[in-house]
A and B are shown apart, each in its own frame.
Chain A
Amino acid sequence: MELLGKTTIDFIGKRNISFVISSIIAILGIVGIIQIARGAANMGIDFSGGTSMQLKFAKPMAMADARTALHKHGIARVDLQEIKEGNKLLIKIDKNAGAAVGKSADAVKASFTSEFADNPFVVESTTEIGPSIGDKLRKDTLVAVAISLLGIILYIAWRFDFKFGIGATVATIHDCLAMFAVFYLFNKEINLLFITAVLTIAGYSLTDTVVVFDRIRENLHKNLKGAMQTIFNNSINEVLSRTIVTSLTVFLAAASLFLFGGEVIHDFSLALLIGVLVGTYSSIFVASPIVVLLENRALARQGEKA
């Protein structure tokens, strides 16, 4: 079976459209990151410190009632989230609301036990993170992201050419920004698992880009005289069915995680899904057009000199 026969789509020619779309995505992502740095986004307690608990009640529990009960017992700043399946409630308490690590969880337990005596609950999970760990994690994460990007640039620059290195890096950063943009816009929690997803997608998107670049390089060697744009377009078209097939298989796997993997990795698999889509888009519409742009500029400069 074949999804596509031979295609001759002018991908590079559409670069103006794709650059506009990508710029919007990137700007949103940057805004998201700035908000995260300012602490204005929905930060997971991995980074901000605090307490998060998951309770499973015997009977359905209205969020408003739960909130009133907590307020009554002096827990003012609390984030509640309902998990539809199985009367579960996710409770997130800011580090500033409670005292030492360990106190907030007890306070929550005590207030529910006393307020809702007829609705017993079990604590399914508790996570308490002191502020110092949050800071350390945030720093470590930044370093990790920086190191892996650097590693990737160096590898691509070594295997290909500096211009390709830039193209691949821009595409990779673009994909990371897109994930931040979506998570920020939908007010999804930014936690350690999200960062893990971002780094994973950085690797995946790069793989996609590298496959396209490999073909471009091969065709450049075969045909030294052809117009840059034609060679790039042909190469992308040649690997297009591979790009789509692979994205499809990874997408299928990530989608089954998203749909059936349970609430713990729900957001994580959502991030992966977004990443696969954007990663596929960027390898076609971002990475190569940038290399063409850089090549053309270099050629023009040579032309001026001559």
Chain B
Amino acid sequence: MPKGIGWRIGLIGIFVLLSFLYLTPTLVSKLPSWWSVLPKDKIHLGLDLQGGTHLVLEVDTQKAVEGTLDIVATDLEDTLTGKNLHFKRISRTGSDKVTVVLYEKGTADAVQKLLKDKYPTYELSPPHDEGGFVALSLRVNEKDAQDRKDKAVQQALETIRNRIDQFGVSEPIIQREGINHIVVQLPGIKDPQRAIELIGRTARLEFKMVREDVSPSAVTIPDDAEVMKEKTADAATGAVSEVPYVLQKKSLITGDLLTDAQVRIDSQFNQPYVAIEFNSLGAKLFDQVTAANVGKRFAIVLDNNIYSAPVIRERISGGSAQISGNFTEKTASDLAIVLRAGALPAPVKIIQNVTVGPSLGQDSINKGLMAGLIGVVLVVVFMAIYYKLSGMVANMGMVLNVIYLMGALAAMGATLTLPGIAAIVLLIGMSVDSNVLIFERIREELKLGKSPKAALDAGYDKAFLTIMDSHITTLITAAVLFQFGTGPVKGFAVSLSLGVIINLFTSLIGTKVTFDLFLHKGTAKKLSI
């Protein structure tokens, strides 16, 4: 055997073996138990092939900053009241600052000192006059605001992941993209609308006192109160009725003090409700609030909608409560999920939603595979007729290409999309190109009267640079496609660039070794080309 053939054949064999090793999980539906150490990753099918939902969410990060400032304002209220410093108003003004309005200059100095100590990273404005009162404002600095925004996206990502885990979707993809976008992919879900609602819900739970001294229809509502509505749908007619309430703006307890939420069924009315458990701080607050307000109403508010506004009949200790409303089993369980997973730190907006039904997905796979198969057959037949036996060698190279490519896709855990299949089909056409280049050269050399062996070597030699050039130019575009593409386009770029690299190997080593094997003695009289 000529020098260098052994290791080349070995390499080809090893790659084939590896490809099949990686492909096994995809091809075999149930792996034997001893497979445990071997690769288990399948080729993932893109949403366009198996159906499912692809969402891009935009996190309203500005709202997260505002939320933080609201907390600062509440905290300041408590601190100043605790220290007996009288103030007229403390509130968030605009999107980036909290303003404290005080009655007199004396308190202003004390407050100024306190603010400096308590919030050293904020920018404190000098006291200024506001309608005869002294005002101070705390402005959040750019860096902290950015930081808060960044954290809000991180938190939102975690919360959404929790929700989806509890909703039960296998192999979801949840990742951050860019500054404030989150990409969520839910393959194979049956009820996309429900999932979308679950993911998109802010789920900010608040307990607020009802102000029964103010009528909801009053023209002027006090500064510290607001009107919200309780919506109830009639089970029989489906008609929605709205009852407005005036609520205290400040929430007494919020959802972040929960430890658990579960769906229970009311034995009396056979109605589902959500039972919630508070943590120790929440339980203490709940105990205090109910003790102090027996006989009054308080409202359970989720995302600015009142779920229920029961009258507090007695002090409730022990840290459990229940949210009842017009629930179905599904809505109650979704509410329990969002309460357990926690609120989003800022509202999210769905800016892209691509949903593919499972039937279309299956249809696409079938058609893609069919097109691929026909493409392969056409090319194989053409090559066999045009280049005879040498054409069959090129065809063998093409088959190797496809096997390697599938193996590589499986090994990388890449996602196969419809354009990905298209790229593979296109590659089938292009993969024989290297061989065409070589074969045409060989024919030229043969015409010059060279022996088959010499013509073969010259053909490969002369075509080498051209093959390199042509592959690199394709790689350049594939790399750019990969860089900017999302979803299906990325899948296309991955298949294309892997294919190009693999093709370089099969055309320069795979097919060459076959020829070398047959021509190494240099005695062959004729080359079937």
Contacts and interface: CB of A to CB of B under 8 A. Distances in A.
Interface residues of A, number: 70
Contacts of B386: 1, 3, 245
Contacts of A148: 476-477, 480-481
Interface string A238-258: 110110011011111111110
A253 B379 contact: yes
Interface in B70-90: none
Nearest to A203: B477
A186 interface: no
Interface stretch (A7-15, A19-27, A74-82, A126-134): A126-134
A19 B49 CA distance: 43
B129 interface: no
A101 interface: yes
Given A133-B56, A257-B422, A214 B466 contact: yes
Contacts of A207: 430, 433, 470-471, 473-474
B480 A147 contact: yes
Contacts of B379: 249, 252-253
Contacts of A210: 466, 469-470, 473
Contacts of A127: 353-355
Interface centre among A126, A152, A155 (most CB of B within 10 A): A126
Interface centre among A1, A156, A238 (most CB of B within 10 A): A1
A129 B352 contact: yes
A203 B477 CA distance: 6
Contacts of B164: none
B426 A151 contact: no
Given A144-B483, A152-B476, A125 B436 contact: no
Interface stretch (B105-113, B205-213, B407-415, B488-496): B488-496
B357 A124 contact: yes
A141 interface: yes
B357 A253 contact: no
A211 interface: yes
Interface stretch (B96-104, B148-156, B246-254, B368-376): B368-376
Interface stretch (A34-42, A62-70, A260-268, A298-306): A260-268
A250 to B, nearest CB: 4
B473 to A, nearest CB: 4
Contacts of B353: 101-102, 126-129
B367 interface: yes
A202 B353 CA distance: 30
Nearest to B465: A214
Contact of B473 (A102, A143, A206, A253): A206
A196 B481 contact: yes
A102 B196 contact: yes
B524 interface: no
B383 A249 contact: yes
B269 interface: no
Contact of B436 (A1, A122, A147, A249): A249
Nearest to A125: B356
Interface stretch (B17-25, B276-284, B309-317, B358-366): B358-366
Interface string B384-421: 01111000000000000000000000000000001100
B295 interface: no
B432 A144 contact: no
B480 A250 contact: no
A196 B372 CA distance: 19
Contacts of B466: 210-211, 214-215
A253 B370 CA distance: 12
A252 B378 contact: yes
A192 interface: yes
Interface in A259-278: 259-262, 264-265, 268-269, 272
Given A152-B477, A193-B419, A200-B477, A250 B426 contact: yes
A133 B55 CA distance: 12
Interface in A142-173: 143-144, 147-148, 151-152, 155-156, 159
B446 to A, nearest CB: 12
Interface string A35-58: 000000000000000000010100
Interface of A: 1-3, 54, 56, 100-102, 122-130, 132-133, 140-141, 143-144, 147-148, 151-152, 155-156, 159, 192-193, 196, 199-200, 202-204, 206-207, 210-211, 214-215, 218, 238-239, 241-242, 245-246, 248-257, 259-262, 264-265, 268-269, 272
29 contacts: A124-B357, A125-B360, A126-B354, A127-B354, A127-B355, A140-B484, A151-B476, A151-B477, A159-B469, A196-B492, A199-B481, A200-B426, A200-B477, A200-B481, A203-B477, A207-B473, A210-B466, A211-B469, A245-B386, A246-B430, A246-B436, A249-B428, A252-B379, A253-B425, A254-B429, A255-B378, A260-B371, A261-B370, A272-B422
Given A124-B357, A196-B485, A250-B426, 9 more contacts: A140-B484, A206-B473, A206-B474, A246-B433, A253-B379, A260-B371, A265-B368, A265-B418, A268-B419
Interface of B: 48, 56, 58, 196, 349-357, 359-360, 363-364, 367-368, 370-372, 374-375, 378-379, 382-383, 385-388, 418-419, 422-423, 425-426, 428-430, 432-433, 436-437, 440, 443-444, 462, 465-466, 469-474, 476-481, 483-485, 488-489, 492, 496
